[in-house]
């Protein structure tokens, strides 16, 4: 069962807000999942704690050659607000 | 004692052949039809059929016609050297980036987002002359198995529109099944291409992890995601795979190795191929499904394959491992959606930047997305990291070993793709874990990075398609496809949802 | 009673590779905002990292220069937190498998400051706060950094300064960074605690935001006093991050949410594990220049003073040039040229670093040999060098054969006699106790000889004659 403290901690780190109804629902659902996966705690394994599907040599890394950059306008095109080439975020909205 | 299942063969006026890429390519090569004409046929079929199934959420008509024109011009120049895919219309799941087009992942978070680059796999298709008809529906950010959580509504199963197309690549599978795309690309993170293929009676193929670039596939769980061809036949999937596979400098998880074409190796010969059966995967399946699978097993015996029992000792941990590690990766991959550089932005007043971001995220994500992010953070947090996350990694390595051992006893493992045929389109069980448990057969190959294909092998009493899965060892993609083809070419299963669509009975 | 200062430094150094660590965007400084960016460093959905080999080469060079062990297998981890300058909401760094470990810097006293690790990571973008808005420029995002972390071996402010200066010196010599605190290519965080001798370690505070060595010293001094005062008065100290305030040299607590975060480190699934084999390291080791400590040793062996040697090795290009010149020229004389006329002509630090002089080292070496052989005197050499620096012409344009002939002793004696005869006032002044008057007499000899006379010899002759 997920504790309220853990839930709130996760919400803070996830930067998500939940109202009371949602909190109850999510805590219930999360607890189900946590219970379901907790079976992993019952097993001991001496396998490594790193999963390495691919290992390469440092010689295969990319050369230090300048590639194509994105034009400023295209980079900003998906942002709601931009100014003088910068992405902008108002630190506090009007009326707050 | 096997009960022979009745094979229902649909016949429609004019007769229907299963469309496949090679046939279309042939028609185009012999100028029986132009790419523009073919594309227009598809667009017209989409307009007619899509409203009832909601497979497409974005129809790129202008792009399609322009690409088709180019393809026709190019064919004149290239003649006999034209790539097989030249001029053939297809669709892409809406989590695959195309420069200048919206890539929404069917989420409010990216509803108006235009990609500034094209996914490598997609670019390879474009370079071979593919024509893009549009983007297909999916579960929000590919989280789900029923294509019913996205902002554009559910996709309905072409065989019964009260049923689900499966998910999260439901739109892609439904489009192929109803013949309003010659083929599609979906993605498969825990069966999301194979399961909808199974529900919709088409072929869904998840390649070996690292053989297809993920660059441009909006990340869900990075070490599980794979771009997957969904098409009407095994050879179609092979052709698409051959085109999109390969090392990509833009994806460091792709393998640098020789990539020989699979199509050449597909001859349907499975003599002496050892097919493994993992009994646990047949538990909890409906009777129609187990019967159909047993028939398929018989077919393989007749074709000269040897059937053996194999064990995957840690099989019960596959789903928990996926949920722990997958959610962890999701929670990290999704931190970037803060509305500042792209994406949905809250219009509510806010007191500081964190408040802005939290409001934005809370308004732009659906429940499934939020739940997985929260779970991921939970499993990664200091208190839980060792017990859950690191343990899950160890078990992942155990499963990899299990399969290494299993593939010493056999060449391929055969199983049902799903324990049931298509559920109702709004399927949403009270306990979320019940939703997850249905992925038991498909998730293992994502956990271990193995190739797996789902092909239709029968129908249930209601006429809904049944899918069979073949999985292989790492890099045995050609073997897997070949065995699938062996069944397909020897089976007289005929499936058609009867909605019309583009056939080439010309 | 003295209190123990226990300090460790975490230094972030920007690597001067051409492109960023995870994409091919240029690292060039000072461009228009958001012009050195691409979908990858913008964190656009669906993008993946592409590791730059040069970052490994540079990090290994740094590791070798700092006596580190280079690790055979490295990997990248994600450090997850949210901040507007971090597009992906995680920084790709090395937590579990850093590229280098177990190095040290040896101070002049012989004490080793141990280096725990050097790891690669990406920089964040730049934020500008103005008028209630935050402006974000992603140009700096994904610029490669190495983070160099020491053990808490530093016991004084002087040691901290020396460590940092030696760090800068070494990294500049192997050319992995220009290490400029003022420009932000070197950033240092100080971890400091204080305890009474014999007692356990005190509470640690971390100080950030010092962009010069002297600010760092000020911050350490302030923080030391603050800790001492708290201990004396039995006041509690909390483990926290503090910001240095330039205005008054104080430190104040940073109320940063980032502190409280659990970074949820885990291996970045988008990059593979990377093997560094011995050949890779050896190839890099072969290209390493001589390190500053070794260079200094060779200068000292040649009779150059420690002070002069330190000034020369401070700038790599100066040292490179000097090292070539001393192969054929006279080391001591060359060092006077270098630290005299040449440094005078390069007024700023920046000019000394780029060392753009018109005089080839061969010319300088030849000039020093002329002086050594007595063919010209120091003054003539100095004058000639000044001209050479301006024009880039050879010394041959300024010193003729006859100039080199010098003055024989009898001519010199007669010149001295002339000087004495023509300057009776000076002679009397000198006899009367004014030492300086001697200079006037020597000056007169120099004028007669058009600068060719040996001033030291002339002085001796004049003294003899006067007596």
pLDDT tens track for B368-378: 999 999 999 99
pLDDT for B405 equals 97
Query: CB distance C82–A15 less than 8 Å?
Result: yes
Most confident of C54-63, C321-330, C364-373: C54-63
CA distance C313 to C169: 8
pLDDT for C182 equals 85
pLDDT at B496 over 80: yes
Query: CB distance B218–C45 less than 8 Å?
Result: yes
pTM of the model: 0.90
The model's confidence at residue B505, banded by pLDDT at 50, 70 and 90, is low
Which chain A residues are Cβ-neighbours of C37 within 8 angstroms?
69-70, 75
The model's confidence at residue C1, banded by pLDDT at 50, 70 and 90, is low
Distant-in-sequence, close-in-space partners of C130: CB < 8 Å, separation ≥ 6: none
Query: CB distance A56–B356 less than 8 Å?
Result: no
Name the neighbours of C, counting chains with at least 3 Cβ pairs within 8 A: A, B
Query: CB distance B341–C269 less than 8 Å?
Result: no
pLDDT tens figures, B437-448: 889 999 999 999
Answer for the pair C310, C339: CB distance below 8 angstroms, yes or no: no
pLDDT for B2 equals 27
pLDDT for C152 equals 96
pLDDT at B241 over 90: yes
Catalytic residue, candidates B25, B115, B168, B228: B168
pLDDT at B6 over 70: no
At residue B426, the 3 state secondary structure works out as coil
pLDDT at C264 over 80: yes
**Chain-centre distance for alpha carbon B199:** 11
Per-residue b or e along C163-190, where b marks 16 or more CB atoms closer than 10 Å to that residue's CB: bbebbbbbbbbbebbbbbbeeebbbbbb
pLDDT at C259 over 70: no
Dihedral pair phi/psi, residue B130, rounded to 5°: -65, 150
Q: Is C364 left (phi over 0), alpha (psi -120 to 50) or beta?
A: alpha
Longest CA–CA span in chain B (Å) reads 71
Which chain C residues are Cβ-neighbours of B223 within 8 angstroms?
269
Least confident of B179-193, B203-217, C242-256: C242-256
Higher per-residue confidence, C452 vs C195: C195
pLDDT at A33 over 70: yes
Of A30, A34, A54, the CB nearest to B253: A54
Higher per-residue confidence, B162 vs B501: B162
| Angle, helix A4-14 to helix A20-37, in steps of 10 degrees | 100
CA C66 to chain A, closest CA, distance in angstroms equals 21
pLDDT for C330 equals 92
Mean pLDDT of B29-58: 96
Which chain B residues are Cβ-neighbours of A96 within 8 angstroms?
349-351
Cα–Cα distances (Å) from C415 to C422, C424, C426, in that order, read 10, 15, 16
Least confident of B43-47, B280-284, C222-226, C425-429: C425-429
Which residue is closest to A55 within chain C, CA to CA? C273
CA B6 to chain C, closest CA, distance in angstroms equals 45
Least confident of B191-195, C40-44, C84-88, C206-210: C206-210
pLDDT tens figures, C94-114: 999 999 999 999 999 999 999
CB of C272 within 8 Å of a chain A CB? The answer is yes
pLDDT for C338 equals 93
CA C275 to chain B, closest CA, distance in angstroms equals 14
Which chain A residues are Cβ-neighbours of C275 within 8 angstroms?
55-58
Query: CB distance A79–B398 less than 8 Å?
Result: no
pLDDT at C158 over 50: yes
Q: In 10 A of CB B116, how many CB atoms?
A: 20
CA distance C452 to C456: 12
Catalytic residue, candidates B19, B25, B35, B93: B93
CA distance A60 to B401: 27
Cα radius of gyration (chain B):
22
B364 is an active site residue = no
- Please write down the long-range contacts of B148-151, taking CB distance under 8 Å and 24 or more positions apart: B148/B425, B148/B426, B148/B427, B148/B428, B149/B106, B149/B366, B149/B367, B149/B368, B150/B57, B150/B106, B150/B107, B151/B104, B151/B106, B151/B107, B151/B108, B151/B111, B151/B366
pLDDT at A96 over 80: no
Which residue out of B316, B394, B401, B403 would a mutagenesis test of the A interface target, given it has the greatest number of A Cβ atoms within 10 Å?
B394
Share of chain B above pLDDT 90, in %: 89
pLDDT for B134 equals 98
The model's confidence at residue C428, banded by pLDDT at 50, 70 and 90, is confident
pLDDT at C151 over 80: yes
Mean pLDDT of A4-11: 95
pLDDT for C267 equals 98
pLDDT for B16 equals 30
pLDDT tens figures, C28-37: 888 999 999 9
Higher per-residue confidence, B109 vs C434: B109
Of C19, C276, C277, the CB nearest to A66: C19
pLDDT for B504 equals 73
Query: CB distance C275–A56 less than 8 Å?
Result: yes
pLDDT for C183 equals 85
pLDDT at C77 over 70: yes
Could you report how far apart the first and last alpha carbons of chain C are, in Å?
62
Higher per-residue confidence, C59 vs C428: C59
Closest by alpha carbon to B496, among B2, B12, B4?
B12
CB of C132 within 8 Å of a chain A CB? The answer is yes
Closest by alpha carbon to C76, among B362, B402, B252, B456?
B252
Q: What torsion do the CA atoms of C370, C376, C378, C380 make, to the nearest 10 degrees?
A: -120
pLDDT at B14 over 50: no
Query: CB distance A50–B359 less than 8 Å?
Result: no
Query: CB distance B370–A16 less than 8 Å?
Result: yes
pLDDT for B7 equals 24
pLDDT at C393 over 80: yes
pLDDT for B9 equals 26
DSSP B96: B
CB of C311 within 8 Å of a chain A CB? The answer is no
pLDDT at B329 over 90: yes
Query: CB distance C26–A69 less than 8 Å?
Result: yes
pLDDT for C269 equals 98
pLDDT at B199 over 80: yes
Q: Is B261 left (phi over 0), alpha (psi -120 to 50) or beta?
A: beta
DSSP B2: P
CA C57 to chain B, closest CA, distance in angstroms equals 19
The model's confidence at residue B11, banded by pLDDT at 50, 70 and 90, is very low
Q: In 10 A of CB C391, how many CB atoms?
A: 12
pLDDT for B317 equals 97
Mean pLDDT of A58-78: 94
Which chain A residues are Cβ-neighbours of B390 within 8 angstroms?
49
Query: CB distance B219–C46 less than 8 Å?
Result: yes
The model's confidence at residue A78, banded by pLDDT at 50, 70 and 90, is very high
pLDDT for C260 equals 58
Query: CB distance B252–C257 less than 8 Å?
Result: no
Mean pLDDT of B134-144: 97
CA distance B194 to B172: 11
Which chain C residues are Cβ-neighbours of B382 within 8 angstroms?
262, 264
3-state secondary structure string across chain C: CCCEEEEEEEEEEECCCCECCCCCCECCCCCCCCCCCCCCCCCCCCCCCCCEHHHHHHHHHHHHHCCCEECCEECCEEEECCCCCCCCCEEEECCCCCCEEEEEEECCCCCEEEEEEEEEEECCCEEEEECCEEEEEHHHCCCEEEEEEECCCECCHHHHHHHHHHHHHHHHHCCCCCCCCCCCCEEEEEEEEEECCCCCCCCCEEEEEECCHHHHHHHHHHHHHHHHHHHHCCCCCCCEEEEEECCCCEEEECCCHHHHCCCCCEECCCCCEEECCHHHHHHHHHHCCCCHHHHHHHHHHCCCCHHHHHHHHCCHHHHHHHHHHHHHCCHHHHHHHHHHHHHHHCCCHHHHHHCCCCCCHHHHHHHHHHHHCCCCCHHHHHHHHHHHHHHCCCHHHCCCHHHHHCCCHHHHHHHHHHHHHHCHHHHHHHHCCCCCHHHHHHHHHHHHCCCCCCHHHHHHHHHHHHC
At residue B92, the 3 state secondary structure works out as strand
B192 is an active site residue = yes
pLDDT at C301 over 70: yes
pLDDT at B15 over 70: no
Query: CB distance B119–C46 less than 8 Å?
Result: yes
Which chain A residues are Cβ-neighbours of C276 within 8 angstroms?
58
Q: Is B365 left (phi over 0), alpha (psi -120 to 50) or beta?
A: beta
Which residue is closest to C74 within chain A, CA to CA? A58
**Chain-centre distance for alpha carbon B340:** 31
Which chain A residues are Cβ-neighbours of C24 within 8 angstroms?
62, 65-68
B168 is an active site residue = yes
Which chain B residues are Cβ-neighbours of C82 within 8 angstroms?
335, 338, 354, 357
Higher per-residue confidence, C9 vs C373: C9
Mean pLDDT, all residues of chain C: 91
pLDDT tens figures, B72-90: 999 999 988 899 999 999 9
Catalytic residue, candidates B192, B228, B454, B476: B192
Q: In 10 A of CB B6, how many CB atoms?
A: 9
Mean pLDDT, all residues of chain B: 93
Which chain A residues are Cβ-neighbours of B398 within 8 angstroms?
45, 47
CA C53 to chain B, closest CA, distance in angstroms equals 13
Query: CB distance A33–B345 less than 8 Å?
Result: no
CA distance B293 to B288: 9
Query: CB distance C37–A75 less than 8 Å?
Result: yes
CA B209 to chain C, closest CA, distance in angstroms equals 12
Q: Number of A:B CB contacts under 8 A?
A: 158
pLDDT at C266 over 70: yes
CB of C301 within 8 Å of a chain A CB? The answer is no
Query: CB distance A64–C275 less than 8 Å?
Result: no
Q: Is the peptide bond before C138 cis (omega within 30 degrees of 0)?
A: no
pLDDT tens figures, B338-362: 999 999 999 999 999 999 999 999 9
Mean pLDDT of C451-459: 80
Which chain A residues are Cβ-neighbours of C42 within 8 angstroms?
70, 75
CB of A8 within 8 Å of a chain B CB? The answer is no
CA A70 to chain B, closest CA, distance in angstroms equals 8
CB of A13 within 8 Å of a chain B CB? The answer is yes
């Amino acid at each position: 069962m997920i504790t309220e403290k853990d839930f709130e901690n996760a919400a803070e780190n996830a930067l998500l807000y939940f109202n009371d109804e949602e909190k109850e629902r999510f805590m219930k659902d999360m607890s189900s999942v946590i219970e379901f996966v907790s079976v992993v705690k019952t097993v001991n394994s001496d396998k490594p704690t790193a999963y390495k599907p691919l290992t390469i040599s440092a010689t295969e890394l990319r050369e230090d050659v300048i590639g194509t950059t994105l034009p400023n306008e295209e980079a900003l095109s998906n942002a709601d607000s931009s100014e003088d080439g910068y992405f902008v975020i108002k630190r506090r909205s009007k009326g707050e | 004692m096997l009960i022979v299942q009745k094979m229902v063969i649909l016949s429609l006026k004019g007769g229907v052949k299963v469309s496949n890429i090679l046939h279309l390519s042939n028609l185009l090569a012999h100028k029986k039809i132009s790419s523009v004409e073919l594309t227009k046929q598809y667009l017209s079929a989409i307009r007619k059929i899509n409203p009832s199934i909601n497979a497409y959420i974005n129809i790129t008509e202008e792009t399609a016609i322009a690409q088709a024109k180019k393809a026709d011009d190019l064919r004149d120049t290239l003649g006999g050297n034209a790539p097989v895919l030249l001029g053939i219309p297809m669709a892409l799941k809406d989590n695959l980036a195309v420069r200048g087009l919206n890539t929404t992942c069917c989420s409010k978070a990216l509803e108006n987002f235009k990609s500034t680059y094209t996914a490598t796999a997609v670019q390879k298709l474009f370079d071979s002359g593919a024509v893009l008809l549009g983007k297909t529906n999916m579960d929000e950010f590919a989280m789900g198995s029923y294509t019913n959580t996205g902002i554009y509504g559910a996709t309905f199963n072409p065989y019964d529109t009260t049923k689900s197309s499966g998910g999260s690549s439901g739109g892609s599978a439904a489009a192929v099944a109803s013949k309003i795309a010659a083929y599609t690309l979906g993605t498969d993170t825990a069966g999301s291409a194979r399961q909808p293929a199974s529900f919709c009676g088409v072929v869904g193929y998840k390649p070996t992890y690292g053989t297809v670039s993920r660059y441009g596939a909006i990340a869900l769980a990075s070490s599980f995601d794979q771009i997957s061809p969904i098409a009407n036949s095994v050879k179609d999937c092979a052709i698409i795979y051959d085109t999109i596979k390969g090392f990509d400098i833009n994806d460091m998880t792709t393998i640098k190795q020789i990539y020989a074409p699979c199509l050449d190796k597909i001859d349907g010969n499975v003599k002496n191929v050892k097919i493994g059966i993992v009994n646990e995967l047949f538990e909890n399946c409906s009777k129609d499904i187990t019967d159909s699978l047993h028939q398929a097993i018989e077919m393989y015996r007749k074709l000269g394959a040897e059937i053996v029992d194999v064990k995957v000792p840690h099989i019960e941990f596959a789903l928990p491992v996926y949920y722990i590690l997958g959610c962890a990766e999701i929670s990290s991959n999704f931190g970037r959606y803060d509305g500042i550089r792209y994406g949905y932005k809250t219009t509510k007043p806010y007191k500081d930047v964190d408040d802005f971001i939290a409001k934005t995220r809370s308004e732009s994500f659906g429940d499934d997305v939020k739940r997985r992010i929260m779970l991921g953070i939970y499993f990664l947090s200091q208190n839980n990291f060792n017990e859950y996350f690191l343990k899950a990694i160890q078990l992942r390595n155990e499963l990899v070993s299990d399969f290494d051992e299993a593939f010493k006893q056999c060449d391929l493992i055969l199983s049902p793709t799903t324990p049931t045929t298509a559920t109702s389109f709004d399927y949403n069980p009270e306990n979320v874990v019940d939703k997850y448990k249905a992925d038991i057969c498909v998730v293992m190959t994502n956990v271990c990075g193995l190739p797996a294909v789902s092909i239709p092998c029968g129908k249930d009493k209601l006429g809904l398609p049944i899918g069979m899965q073949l999985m292989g060892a790492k890099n045995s993609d050609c073997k897997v496809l070949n065995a699938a083809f062996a069944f397909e070419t020897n089976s007289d299963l005929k499936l058609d949802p009867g909605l019309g669509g583009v056939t080439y009975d010309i | 009673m003295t209190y123990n200062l226990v300090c460790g430094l975490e230094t972030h150094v920007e690597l001067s590779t051409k492109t960023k660590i995870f994409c091919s965007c240029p690292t060039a400084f000072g461009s228009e905002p958001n012009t050195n960016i691409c979908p990858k460093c913008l964190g656009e959905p669906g993008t993946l990292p592409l590791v730059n080999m040069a970052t490994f080469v540079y990090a290994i060079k740094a590791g070798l220069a700092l006596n580190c062990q280079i690790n055979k297998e490295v990997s990248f981890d994600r450090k997850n937190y949210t901040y507007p300058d971090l597009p992906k909401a995680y920084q790709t760094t090395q937590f579990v498998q850093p590229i280098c470990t177990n190095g040290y810097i040896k101070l002049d006293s012989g004490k080793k400051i141990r280096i725990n690790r050097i790891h690669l990571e990406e920089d964040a973008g730049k934020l500008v706060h103005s008028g209630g808005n935050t402006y974000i420029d992603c140009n700096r995002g994904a610029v490669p950094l190495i983070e160099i972390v020491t053990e808490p071996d530093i016991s004084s402010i002087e040691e901290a300064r020396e460590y940092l200066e030696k760090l800068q010196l070494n990294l500049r010599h192997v050319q992995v960074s220009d290490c400029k605190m003022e420009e932000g290519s070197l950033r240092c965080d100080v971890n400091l605690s204080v305890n009474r001798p014999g007692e356990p370690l005190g509470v640690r505070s971390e100080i950030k935001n010092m962009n010069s060595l002297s600010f760092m010293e000020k911050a350490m001094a302030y923080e030391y006093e603050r800790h001492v005062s708290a201990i004396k008065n039995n006041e509690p100290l909390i483990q926290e991050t503090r910001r240095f305030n330039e205005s008054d040299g104080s430190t104040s607590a940073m109320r940063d949410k980032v502190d409280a975060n659990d970074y949820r480190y885990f291996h970045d699934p988008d990059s593979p594990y990377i093997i560094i084999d011995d050949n890779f390291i050896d190839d890099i080791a072969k290209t390493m220049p001589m390190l500053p400590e070794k260079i200094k040793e060779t200068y000292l062996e040649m009779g150059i003073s420690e002070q002069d040697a330190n000034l020369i090795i401070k700038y790599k290009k100066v040292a490179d040039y000097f090292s070539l010149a001393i192969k054929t020229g006279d080391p001591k004389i060359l060092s006077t040229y270098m630290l005299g006329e040449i440094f005078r002509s390069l007024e700023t630090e920046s000019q000394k670093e780029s060392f753009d002089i018109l005089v080839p080292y061969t010319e300088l070496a030849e000039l020093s040999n002329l002086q050594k052989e007595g063919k010209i005197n120091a003054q003539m050499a100095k004058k000639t060098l000044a001209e050479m620096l301006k024009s880039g012409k050879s010394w041959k344009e300024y010193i003729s054969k006859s100039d080199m002939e010098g003055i024989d002793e009898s001519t010199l004696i007669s010149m001295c006699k002339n000087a004495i005869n023509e300057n009776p006032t000076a002679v009397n002044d000198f006899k009367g106790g004014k030492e300086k008057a001697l200079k006037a007499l020597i000056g007169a000899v120099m004028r007669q000889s058009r600068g060719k006379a040996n001033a030291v010899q002339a002085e001796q002759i004049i003294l003899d004659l006067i007596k």
